[in-house]
Amino acid sequence: MALTTDGAGVSLLVGVVLLYVGAESLVKGAQGLATDLGVRAAVAGVTVVAFATTAPELFVAIIGKVEKTTTIGLGAVIGSNVANICLVLGLSALVRPMAVSRETVRRHLPFMVLAALLLVGLGYDGTLSKLDGGVLLVVLGAFTVVLLRGVPDADEATDGESVATDGGTTAASPVRRVAEIRPRDLVFLLIGLGLLLVGARRLVDGGTSTLYLLGGSDRLVGVTVLALGTSLPELAASLVSALRGEADFSIGNVVGSNIYNVLAVLGVLTLLSPIRVPTSVIGTDFPVLLGATAFCVLLLVARGRVGRIAGVLLLAGYGGYVSLLV
């Protein structure tokens, strides 16, 4: 249904608010779940919270595909990944410089690079096919295996038993940990998912109507309004983590979200329907994504930290990217 300018603006605002509130609820539940299961901060950031904060992109991409066009979902993913690196990581570094853990660099960062390279390589011919979607999901499976291998040895205890840790304390077995999951954490997860679904629909309707009324294209809708809206959960989670001095959590959230955006969101979306990749995306968005990813790797691998100067450079780069699209 076509919206007026005022109606589109209201729908857009409501969508962003619902996505933010829903993501906060989802992240709170995910954080509680990670605590219940005894997962380390670095792993929790790149898994539970990253996957939770990726939910808006997934909902927006699927709803955009069903009601609009797959180009919206592709634009939202690319724009969100660039925003995660430049905007989210940049603002977090301005709040507090962050050092990265060796685990994130050695086990998680390579998959973020691989995801970006796969997206560009598979989409360079102008189409992301169902076969390409299958490839992305297979790599997602491999990433999951790597994550599972990173679970502390304490998790390998036999059912119903506890084992000693390095600090001399005991850690519950998987069965006991699952049994100790607090119901309220699951409630937060479910409420968050519901709000995300409604918020995604409102954001797609409001965002597309607003830019279409202004003469914008599907690509512009995806990489600007929708990408910024769906990056709010990552921004909120990373800023709060930075304020608390939890760099592993903040950086892990960005790295994990960028992995899931490509492998999970686009993997599922392309299985539903092949995605046409416009030449404008190949010529502009792909190079920007690769450049942002390369700069992120340079900071985390070569320097081992993201300082305030780097944060300013990241924000400037994001401003330059958006200016190319307007």
> Between 1.20.1420.30, 3.20.20.450, 3.30.565.10, 1.10.1330.10, what CATH number should domain 5-153+176-325 receive?
1.20.1420.30
List, in order, residues 6 or more apart from 12 with CB less than 8 Å away.
202, 203, 206, 207, 210, 225, 229
Only one residue has tokens 């450049």, namely: 291
Confidence band for 151, pLDDT divided at 50, 70 and 90 = low
Q: Residue length, the chain?
A: 326
- Single out the residue of 220, 226, 256, 254 nearest to residue 60, CA to CA: 226
- pLDDT, tens only, 215-229: 666 666 667 666 777
Q: Is 168 left (phi over 0), alpha (psi -120 to 50) or beta?
A: left
Per-residue tokens: 142: 């491999």
Confidence band for 169, pLDDT divided at 50, 70 and 90 = very low
Specify the DSSP class assigned to residue 298: I
Name the maximum alpha-carbon separation found in the chain: 64
Predicted local confidence at residue 288, as pLDDT: 95
- pLDDT, tens only, 109-119: 999 999 999 99
Share of the chain above pLDDT 70, in %: 71
Predicted local confidence at residue 192, as pLDDT: 82
pTM strictly above 0.85: no
